[in-house]
Chains A and B, each alone.
Chain A
Amino acid sequence: MDLPLWLQKNSPLAPSPSKLKQSNFIQKTLKGIIDFVRESVYSEEIALRSGFLQSIDPRVKLVAIFSLLITVNLLRHLPLLWSVYLVILVVAWLSKVPALFLIQRVWFVVPLFTGIMVLPSLFNWVRPGDPLWNLWTFSAPLHVGPLHFPRELMITYQGFWGALLLISRVGISVTLAVLLTVTTRWNHLLRALRTFFVPKIFIVTLEMTYRYIFVLITLLEDMFLARKARDAGHSSGAEQRRFVGSSIAHLFGKSLQMSEEVYTSMIARGYTGEIYTLQRFQLRWTDVFSIAVSLMLSLSFYAADKVLGG
């Protein structure tokens, strides 16, 4: 085998780019992939710890958390709402879920999104009410087309407390959902849903989807690493976007091919359109006790809210 001449000796080094591109799609996607894997591994690790919530039957957990969710969204008094949050933090501590992780995961994101939604309702121009903080006084009332606005622009008392109530409700609800998902393995959670009449085929499809996310993400990581391995810093943003585009197409083709292979392997093991699974949940006394406590707690909070009136 005769190698061409240029292959027989090392080439001179190519000129290095003057500066590296700031928008590196490839690097960002790789980081996203690694974060995803790290996060799912961490969640799985929490779900396997020997804590309080981890030891409870997933069906019970689902009912208990659902009843608390309803209660949280019915409560109108902030102190009551935050006492529920305190209870949740205690349960999280008993379940060996780091409080900091739970707080960071919820309160860094929820106020931002819910905050944007409730922002207009703070002001008297959208929701009239008692003044809390006067922001600006115009010389005359404003008219924009058919709309008339008062001279003062202010944050209202009702708007402020309403926004705080909504943000608290959303944040605490999300905390409950996060607590449920990090203390329950994905497949157990889906099994539990089956008890509540979610069709089996729907759950099996979800299970398989979750399973193949990992196969496809490994493939994606390989593709991006292979691309990175040949990137000397010369590729333009447009070129990188083209690569991301074509990798999406490739991944789509690959997942289609994979779905055919998976289907064949199901057929080979006797699949005829009906899924059978082993049901292995068993209720124990602690489960019955937990469900009773959570229902009682939900009811008492709701009753307290009614008693306080408002």
Chain B
Amino acid sequence: MSKQTAPLFQLADVSYAYIPGHPVLSDINLQLYPAQNLVILGANGSGKSTLLKILAGLVHPTSGQISAFGQELTEKKLQDPAFLSEFRQRVGFIFQNSDAQLFSATVRDELAFAPLQLGLSAEQVEQRIIETADLLGITPLLDRPPYKLSGGEKKKVALACVLTANPEVLFLDEPTNGLDPRTQFWLVEFLASLQNAGKTIITATHDLSIVEEIAQRVIVLRENHTVAADGTPFEIFSDRELLLDVNLIHERSHFHIGGAKNHG
């Protein structure tokens, strides 16, 4: 872990509640470092998605402080046009529900949305669309409306429409949900190549099979919305008691470290 470098994100005593008295996140203290791929692991309803949205500046904590790229990340700060534009360019978010993410009339428009918002010229945007579509193998889909895509295609388009803005940090919310094994495998490999390119990938999931593949660090959220553990995938998966305690596995689950690495 490259703890010598300055953290990308710093959370101090962050809590969040939709309704007062019913927190979905409690006293989270966390530091995230560049190029350190993180998985936020937790059972359903443990607050993974909310934590991800707080990091991405989409919702703001009810108490506690958060800083991003060395600056405080607050609702007010995000109203500063210069900071907003810089922040949105550096941070990309892939939502769990691809249908919510793909709101444009065609895939091409979808891919154009983010770079156009960032003020790139039409030529640059066209260039990025062509290259990103080629990279993800979605060129034949460019003029199709999103409702005609399959689940896997939608996920690829959702990924592509964030990548066209070329963010440094990529947040993924339950990325493997509803994907067939082949597309899941493809996604893991693709994330690895993004990681090699120096991107920071932060994923919220309860899919244990992909964790070792995509993470260098894992934090586990407990069902009472606090951090239960923070360590390497090996450390976390060696602690069966912990995984049982946070309700991620069942007493009779067959689970072994390195289970996902059966493809050489």
Chain A positions near chain B (C-beta within 8 angstroms): 44, 186-187, 190, 207-208, 210-212, 214-215, 218, 258, 261-262, 264-272, 276-279
Known contacts A211-B145, A268-B92, A270-B114; is-contact A278 B126 (Cβ 8 Å): yes
A74-B85 Cα distance, complex, nearest whole Å: 53
A2-B108 Cα distance, complex, nearest whole Å: 54
A267-B112 Cα distance, complex, nearest whole Å: 15
Q: Contact mask B63-107 → A, CB, 8 Å, 1/0?
A: 000000000000000000100110011011101010111111110
Contact of A211 with B88 in the complex, beta carbons under 8 Å: no
Within the complex, which residue of B56, B97, B109, B146 is in contact with A277, where a contact is CB–CB below 8 Å? B109
CB-based nearest A residue for B85: A270
Contact of B113 with A211 in the complex, beta carbons under 8 Å: no
Most chain B CB neighbours (cut-off 10 Å) among A186, A269, A272, A278? A269
Number of A-B contacts (CB under 8 A): 87
Most chain B CB neighbours (cut-off 10 Å) among A187, A265, A272? A265
Contact of B117 with A272 in the complex, beta carbons under 8 Å: yes
Residues of B within 8 Å of A, CB-based: how many?
38
A264-B60 Cα distance, complex, nearest whole Å: 13
A44-B147 Cα distance, complex, nearest whole Å: 12
Contact of A278 with B58 in the complex, beta carbons under 8 Å: no
Q: Is the CB of B133 closer than 8 A to any CB of chain A?
A: no
Within the complex, which residue of B84, B89, B103, B162 is in contact with A211, where a contact is CB–CB below 8 Å? B103
A207 contact set on B, CB distance < 8 A:
104-105
A44 contact set on B, CB distance < 8 A:
145
Contact of B109 with A261 in the complex, beta carbons under 8 Å: no
Within the complex, which residue of A211, A267, A272 is in contact with B146, where a contact is CB–CB below 8 Å? A211
Known contacts A211-B103, A211-B146, A214-B147; is-contact A267 B161 (Cβ 8 Å): no
Q: Is the CB of B118 closer than 8 A to any CB of chain A?
A: yes
Within the complex, which residue of B88, B103, B105, B161 is in contact with A187, where a contact is CB–CB below 8 Å? B105
B56 contact set on A, CB distance < 8 A:
268
Contact of B95 with A265 in the complex, beta carbons under 8 Å: yes
Contact of B100 with A265 in the complex, beta carbons under 8 Å: yes
Contact of A278 with B109 in the complex, beta carbons under 8 Å: yes
Chain B positions near chain A (C-beta within 8 angstroms): 53, 56, 58, 81, 84-85, 88-89, 91-93, 95, 97, 99-106, 108-109, 112-114, 116-118, 122, 125-126, 145-147, 161-162, 165
Known contacts A187-B106, A207-B105, A262-B103; is-contact A268 B147 (Cβ 8 Å): no
CB-based nearest B residue for A267: B58
B112 contact set on A, CB distance < 8 A:
277-278
Within the complex, which residue of B88, B101, B116 is in contact with A276, where a contact is CB–CB below 8 Å? B116
- Inter-chain pairs besides A262-B100, A279-B122, 4 sampled, C-beta below 8 Å: A187-B106, A207-B105, A211-B103, A265-B93
Contact of B100 with A268 in the complex, beta carbons under 8 Å: no
Contact of A186 with B88 in the complex, beta carbons under 8 Å: no
Within the complex, which residue of B81, B106, B108, B117 is in contact with A269, where a contact is CB–CB below 8 Å? B117
Contact of A265 with B101 in the complex, beta carbons under 8 Å: yes
Within the complex, which residue of A211, A212, A271 is in contact with B117, where a contact is CB–CB below 8 Å? A271
B105 contact set on A, CB distance < 8 A:
186-187, 190, 207, 210-211
Contact of B116 with A268 in the complex, beta carbons under 8 Å: no
B126 contact set on A, CB distance < 8 A:
278
A13-B81 Cα distance, complex, nearest whole Å: 67
A269-B116 Cα distance, complex, nearest whole Å: 10
A208-B145 Cα distance, complex, nearest whole Å: 11
A215-B103 Cα distance, complex, nearest whole Å: 10
Known contacts A265-B95, A278-B126; is-contact A270 B165 (Cβ 8 Å): yes
Contact of B95 with A261 in the complex, beta carbons under 8 Å: yes
Contact of B147 with A278 in the complex, beta carbons under 8 Å: no
A209-B24 Cα distance, complex, nearest whole Å: 32
